[in-house]
Amino acid sequence: MPVIPTHSDLETALLRAVDEVLFYVWDPIGINDDPTVRDEYYSYVPQVFEYLRADLPESEIREQIMKYLTHVGENLIGYPGNKEATIDRLLWIKDHLASSQYEGFKFGPTGTPY
């Protein structure tokens, strides 16, 4: 996944986490066990990332991401994906990164820090 160099370390970590969570948790077409299609959801990462970066209450961010993933799932892909778990994980990661004085935490396939 390309990383835009103008992002801070925190933003880069969040961007990578969005990519991981969309692929391993949301995964509406059930392909997360095939590394050859790792880029399948890349085109959805920037919009979700922008919603997470927005200076809005968590409830509004949650609502925006839900609307977006619902639109993508129903109108573009044809399958819903695991939206609630995806949003919960993304918001948890955002809060974790923001409160941890980011020190290069790495995230596993389900967005779990290690």
Q: Please report which confidence band the pLDDT of residue 8 belongs to, taking 50, 70 and 90 as the band edges.
A: confident
pTM: 0.81
Please give the DSSP secondary-structure letter assigned to residue 73: I
pLDDT higher than threshold 60 for residue 96: yes
Q: What are phi and psi of 107, to 5 degrees?
A: -120, 140
pLDDT for 16 equals 94
Contacts of 14 by beta carbon, 8 Å cutoff, 6+ apart: 49, 52, 53, 93, 94, 97
pLDDT higher than threshold 90 for residue 90: yes
